[in-house]
């Protein structure tokens, strides 16, 4: 069953946590109409099953991550109305199934990628109100499915590609205010075109002489067009608006041949705006005598002719957004009698609904829903109001009287904003909770399909007035309540996923909650651990001068400091207002005060003073393992021997946590950035903020039991079994360490451009191409050692935790690999230093039964007993 995360219109604040990338089964991700800030994390590229990506109406910043291109199942991407910038990633070309692309109303720049032309299923492409530059790509004409192309208000150049005439199915072409030049291309093949807006450019030449008879809107004002008005423009039976204002058109305006389909009611209208041209003659026609037909001739020489009705020559300085009908539309609603009372004692929003089936008014509680047409195919709505209500009621399986557009207005775009009222049927005064929640789902998942006439839409709010404000769903704007938590993920989502969601978003008002915690906060005291004052730590770092900053993580920044006794330390400073930081702070002090091992970073002290929380560690000179592995900014490359040394040291540190700490400790966040390297490149495992105490050892076991806990960790390193079950075990750390081993082998990150390292290694191995991804920077290496290291790493990364080795077995195998490395005589002292005399060699199964030294090395492609050297690629 599809997994859905719908956090629609909930007044959420904060940022999107990269842990979102762990929810790989998500079908729908809906954060529309909140106040979420910060960037879209690249980990979103892990959501391979995502169908709907909906971030409309937030305050997101930064660039679109290229990893979005990995979402091959994506049907709809909506990131409109944010503060996103940068170019459209070239990886968009891989979204082969996307149909709806809405990037409008941001600050995207650069050229529009021609690769978009290869997305043959796009229906709606909305790129308006950005900062795109360059030419319109001719390749867009390859999208035969395209119905709407809207690129208004950008900084383009060049002309409209002539190839766009191949878009035979196009219904709306809107390129307003794009600085385009040249002639209007041949539109004769666009037989379905109903809406054309090329206003505000520098187009020249003559008006097209052959256009679709279905046209409702032609907006060509503020260009440099000349010549006569072709006869075809007078014979468009469904035309609502013809705006040719401010051009160089000449000749005669011949209203005597003006045709239009019969106006059925006063809501229909025709506006002809020919102001500020060079029209010298005017021929009146009978159609101009209708009250709902408006002709504007101001600013043309013909207005100097006194025989011309001067009413036609009155200046009008309006826009498409505020067209006023010559006469008010007649409402089909019949007000209820003032004698009809609707339980006013409830002080409710009880209003009438007209039940046409019975021809009488009845009191009922409506649902109020905000509905926005993003790119409608008309300029005047009243003639289409009934058709819209019929369209909506049909898909909702409602009677026509149950759907009412109570009000509407135009916003810039132009986009049509509607306030819908949905009424229960005539057998009751209100909808049931089940129906309300069903309607909520339908209005937030595009259950009602887009129509050719009304175009794409979105829901802007789902208002639950009395008596619907108690229903258990996510339509309210009052934040997360108990019922809201229960409905965060709709469908077959496990307890684990729900817990991750709660952790994933920094939900509302974090600063205020932090302040409340601080009011009752008492400084902690830990026996045997030095407590520093804020003044001492500040002095050690030069008042946290930026030159002393050496790193940054989710917890906060890390500074290099020198204490009063000359000892150099690393100081991890928690972000202000971080509740997560407070918990990690206490957790890390508690754990590090109890453990001591040469391969674990040592805690020197802490500071809990003046509303600040900081941890003071020993300073590790050479930074993190990631600093040495990740090009192009990596430090000096690590040779093969050093990589084994780092792996062995890290494994010993983790083994100590699992087997010698009492009770055992599960680290829960083993990764390259949490493995530090000292001056001799010896590994020290760090960052115990997420660590958990495990149950004591079983009497006949060398490992602790499992711990049921909220899923935390880093995408790419996280044990899939732990993620699915919330059961944390020692094998969870083994999986993460296996990913680190793969990093040492390949030099790659755990996730690169949305590709998972574990999966990539499996694919390369199965294809017999493992050598192609080995890191060439580690120089020559013994083939048999690398062979065993690969087998060990892959075994650690088995999906089934029971198939993984224990850390004792990992250490045993790494020591055996170390012993096989030739020519180590010059490194004897170093080898001695990494051997831990205080640690017993872990006991494993017999060599013959050991699962990682089998002679079966098919698919690895290495020659046993040789030293291979890979030339740079």
Q: Are 732 and 666 in contact (CB under 8 A)?
A: yes
Structure tokens at 369: 């829903």
Q: Read off the CATH number of the domain in which 129 is found.
A: 3.80.10.10
Strand 224-227 vs strand 202-206: parallel, antiparallel, or unpaired?
Answer: parallel
Asked if 406 and 501 sit in the same domain, the reply is no
**Tell me, what's the pLDDT at 496?**
40
DSSP state of 750: S
Q: How many domains is the chain built from? A: 5
Phi first, then psi, for residue 433 (nearest 5°) are: -60, -40
Instruction: Write the secondary structure of 114-132 as one string of H (helix), E (strand) and C (coil).
Output: HHHHHCCCCCEEECCCCEE
d(CA 119, CA 143): 7
| Domain C-terminal end among 618, 638, 663 | 618
Segments of the chain with pLDDT less than 70: 1-2, 262-267, 317-362, 465-466, 469-528, 553-555, 575-584, 587, 631-635, 695-705, 754, 823-873
d(CA 126, CA 146): 11
The residues that bridge with 250 in the sheet, in sequence order, are 278
Cβ partners under 8 Å of residue 756, min gap 6:
46, 716, 750
Residue 448: is it exposed, middle or buried by C-beta count within 10 angstroms (0-12/13-18/19+)?
Answer: middle
The residue count of the chain comes to 873
How many Cβ atoms sit within 10 Å of the Cβ of residue 872? 5
Q: Read off the CATH number of the domain in which 840 is found.
A: 1.10.510.10
Please state the pTM of the whole predicted model: 0.56
Residue 328 inside a domain? The answer is: no
DSSP state of 600: B
**Tell me, what's the pLDDT at 594?**
75
The residues that bridge with 572 in the sheet, in sequence order, are 558, 615
Asked if 122 and 200 sit in the same domain, the reply is no
Q: Read off the CATH number of the domain in which 420 is found.
A: 3.30.70
The candidate with the shortest Cα–Cα distance to 625, out of 633, 616, 615, 635, is 635
Q: At what angle do helices 730-746 and 640-659 cross, to 10 degrees?
A: 170
Q: Are 36 and 14 in contact (CB under 8 A)?
A: yes
On the CB side of 569, how many CA atoms lie within 13 Å of its CA?
26
Asked if 473 and 551 sit in the same domain, the reply is no
d(CA 745, CA 788): 11
d(CA 507, CA 727): 25
**Tell me, what's the pLDDT at 776?**
85
Q: At what angle do helices 730-746 and 783-796 cross, to 10 degrees?
A: 140
Q: Residue ranges for the binding site?
A: 572
Asked if 125 and 224 sit in the same domain, the reply is no
How many Cβ atoms sit within 10 Å of the Cβ of residue 411? 10
Residue 446: is it exposed, middle or buried by C-beta count within 10 angstroms (0-12/13-18/19+)?
Answer: middle
Asked if 497 and 463 sit in the same domain, the reply is no
Note the pLDDT tens digit of each residue in 195-218: 999 999 999 999 999 999 999 999
Question: What one-character-per-residue DSSP string does 765-806 give?
Answer: HHTT-GGGGS-GGG--EEHHHHHHHHHHHHHHT-SSGGGSPP
**Tell me, what's the pLDDT at 471?**
55
**Tell me, what's the pLDDT at 157?**
94
Q: Residue ranges for the binding site for ATP?
A: 572
How many Cβ atoms sit within 10 Å of the Cβ of residue 342? 17
Asked if 315 and 188 sit in the same domain, the reply is yes
Asked if 680 and 829 sit in the same domain, the reply is yes
| Domain C-terminal end among 577, 595, 618 | 618
Q: Are 569 and 617 in contact (CB under 8 A)?
A: yes
How many Cβ atoms sit within 10 Å of the Cβ of residue 168? 12
Residue 331 inside a domain? The answer is: no
Phi first, then psi, for residue 283 (nearest 5°) are: -115, 110
Structure tokens at 39: 């960037």
* CA terminus-to-terminus distance, the chain: 45
- Residues marked active site are found at 669
Residue 267 inside a domain? The answer is: yes
Residue in the block written with tokens 């949905």: 422
d(CA 170, CA 192): 6
Asked if 232 and 118 sit in the same domain, the reply is no
Strand 867-868 vs strand 35-38: parallel, antiparallel, or unpaired?
Answer: unpaired
Note the pLDDT tens digit of each residue in 769-789: 888 889 888 888 888 899 999
The candidate with the shortest Cα–Cα distance to 252, out of 234, 288, 279, is 279
Does the bond joining 148 to the residue before it have cis omega, within 30 degrees of 0?
A: no
Residue 666 inside a domain? The answer is: yes
d(CA 568, CA 337): 84
Strand 549-552 vs strand 556-562: parallel, antiparallel, or unpaired?
Answer: antiparallel
Asked if 589 and 551 sit in the same domain, the reply is yes
Residue 336 inside a domain? The answer is: no
Q: Are 295 and 272 in contact (CB under 8 A)?
A: yes
Helix (H) / strand (E) containing 108: strand 107-111
How many Cβ atoms sit within 10 Å of the Cβ of residue 339? 5
Assign 515 to helix, strand or coil.
helix
**Tell me, what's the pLDDT at 578?**
47
d(CA 91, CA 72): 11
Asked if 453 and 533 sit in the same domain, the reply is no
| 833-to-645, 681, 683, 827, 836 alpha-carbon distances in Å | 10, 11, 12, 10, 7
Residue 167 inside a domain? The answer is: no
- Residue 798: domain span: 625-868
Residue 652: is it exposed, middle or buried by C-beta count within 10 angstroms (0-12/13-18/19+)?
Answer: buried
| Domain C-terminal end among 569, 590, 618 | 618
d(CA 79, CA 496): 27
Distance of CA 350 to the CA centre of its chain: 39
Asked if 304 and 238 sit in the same domain, the reply is yes
**Tell me, what's the pLDDT at 527?**
59
| 840-to-354, 660, 811, 843 alpha-carbon distances in Å | 85, 10, 11, 9
Residue 739 inside a domain? The answer is: yes
Q: Are 82 and 58 in contact (CB under 8 A)?
A: yes
Q: Read off the CATH number of the domain in which 548 is found.
A: 3.30.200.20
| 827-to-592, 652, 824, 831, 839 alpha-carbon distances in Å | 31, 19, 5, 6, 21
Asked if 501 and 520 sit in the same domain, the reply is no
The residues that bridge with 38 in the sheet, in sequence order, are 60
Residue 45 inside a domain? The answer is: yes
């Amino acid at each position: 069953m599809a997994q859905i995360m719908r956090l629609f219109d909930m007044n959420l604040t904060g940022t999107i946590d990269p842990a979102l990338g762990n929810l790989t089964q998500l079908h729908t991700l809906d954060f529309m109409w909140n106040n979420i800030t910060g960037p879209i994390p690249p980990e979103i590229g892990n959501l391979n099953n995502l169908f709907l990506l909906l971030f409309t109406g937030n305050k997101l910043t930064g660039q679109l991550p290229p990893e979005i291109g990995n979402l091959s199942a994506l049907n709809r991407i909506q990131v409109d109305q944010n503060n996103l910038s940068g170019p459209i990633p070239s990886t968009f070309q891989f979204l082969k199934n996307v149909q709806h692309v809405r990037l409008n109303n941001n600050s995207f720049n650069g050229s529009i990628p021609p690769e978009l032309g290869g997305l043959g299923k796009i229906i709606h492409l909305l790129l308006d109100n950005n900062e795109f530059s360059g030419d319109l790509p001719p390749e867009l004409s390859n999208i035969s499915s395209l119905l709407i192309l809207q690129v208004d208000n950008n900084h383009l150049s060049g002309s409209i590609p002539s190839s766009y005439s191949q878009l035979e199915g196009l219904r709306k072409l809107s390129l307003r205010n794009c600085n385009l030049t040249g002639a209007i291309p041949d539109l004769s093949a666009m037989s379905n075109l109903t809406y054309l807006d090329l206003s505000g450019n520098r187009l020249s030449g003559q008006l097209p002489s052959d256009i679709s008879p279905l046209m409702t809107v032609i907006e060509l004002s503020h260009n440099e067009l000349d010549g006569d008005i072709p006869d075809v423009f007078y014979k468009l039976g469904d035309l609502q608006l013809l705006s040719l204002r401010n051009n160089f058109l000449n000749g005669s305006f011949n209203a005597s041949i003006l045709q239009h389909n019969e106006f059925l009611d006063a809501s229909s209208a025709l506006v002809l705006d020919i102001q500020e041209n060079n029209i010298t003659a005017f021929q009146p026609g009978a159609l101009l005598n209708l009250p709902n037909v408006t002709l504007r001739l101001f600013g043309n020489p013909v207005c100097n002719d006194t025989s011309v009705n001067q009413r036609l020559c009155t200046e009008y300085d309006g826009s498409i957004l505020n067209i006023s009908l010559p006469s008010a539309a007649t409402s089909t609603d019949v007000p209820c009698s003032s004698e009809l009372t609707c339980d006013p004692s409830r002080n409710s929003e009880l209003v009438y609904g007209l039940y046409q089936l019975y021809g009488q008014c009845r009191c009922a509680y409506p649902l109020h829903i905000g509905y926005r047409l993003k790119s409608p195919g008309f300029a005047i709505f009243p003639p289409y109001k009934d058709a819209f209500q019929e369209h909506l009621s049909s898909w909702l399986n409602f009677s026509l009287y149950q759907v009412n557009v109570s009000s509407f207005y135009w916003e810039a775009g132009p986009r049509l904003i509607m306030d819908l009222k949905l009424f229960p049927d005539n057998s009751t005064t209100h909808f049931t909770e089940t129906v309300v929640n069903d309607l909520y789902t339908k209005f937030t998942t595009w259950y009602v399909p887009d129509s050719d006439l009304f175009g794409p839409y979105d829901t802007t709010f789902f208002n639950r007035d009395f008596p619907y404000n108690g229903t258990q769903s996510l339509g309210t704007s009052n934040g997360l309540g108990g019922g809201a938590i229960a409905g965060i993920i709709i469908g077959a989502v496990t307890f684990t996923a729900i817990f991750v969601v709660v952790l994933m978003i920094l939900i509302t008002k974090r600063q205020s909650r932090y302040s409340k915690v601080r009011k009752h906060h008492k400084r902690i005291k830990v026996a045997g651990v030095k407590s520093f004052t804020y003044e001492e730590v500040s002095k050690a770092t030069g008042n946290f001068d930026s030159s002393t900053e050496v790193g940054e993580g989710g917890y906060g920044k890390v500074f290099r400091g020198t204490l009063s006794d000359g000892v150099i330390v690393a100081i991890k400073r928690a972000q202000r207002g971080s509740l997560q930081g407070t918990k990690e702070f206490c957790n890390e002090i508690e754990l590090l005060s109890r453990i001591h091992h040469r391969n674990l970073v040592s805690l020197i002290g802490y500071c809990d003073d003046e509303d600040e929380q900081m941890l003071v560690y020993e300073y590790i000179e050479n930074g993190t393992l990631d600093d040495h592995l990740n090009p192009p900014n990596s430090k000096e490359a690590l040779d093969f021997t050093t990589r084994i040394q780092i792996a062995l040291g890290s494994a010993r540190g983790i083994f100590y946590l699992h087997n010698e700490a009492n009770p055992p400790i599960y680290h829960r966040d083993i990764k390259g950035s949490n493995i530090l390297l000292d001056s001799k490149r010896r590994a020290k495992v760090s960052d115990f903020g997420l660590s958990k105490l495990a149950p004591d050892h079983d009497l006949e076991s060398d490992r602790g039991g499992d711990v049921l806990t909220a899923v935390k960790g880093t995408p790419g390193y996280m044990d899939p079994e732990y993620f699915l079950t919330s059961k944390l075990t020692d094998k969870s750390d083994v999986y993460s360490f296996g990913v680190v081993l793969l990093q040492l082998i390949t030099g790659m990150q755990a996730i690169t451009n949305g590709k998972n390292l574990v999966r990539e290694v499996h694919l390369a191995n199965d294809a017999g191409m493992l050598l192609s991804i080995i890191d060439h920077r580690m120089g020559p290496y013994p083939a048999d050692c690398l062979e065993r290291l690969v087998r060990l790493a892959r075994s650690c990364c088995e999906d089934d935790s029971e198939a993984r080795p224990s850390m004792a077995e990992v250490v045993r195998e790494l020591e055996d690999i170390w012993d096989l490395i030739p020519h180590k005589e010059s490194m004897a002292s170093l080898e001695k230093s990494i051997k831990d005399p205080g640690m017993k060699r872990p006991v494993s199964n017999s060599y013959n039964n050991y699962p990682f030294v089998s002679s079966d090395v098919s698919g690895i492609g290495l020659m046993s007993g040789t030293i291979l050297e890979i030339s740079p690629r």
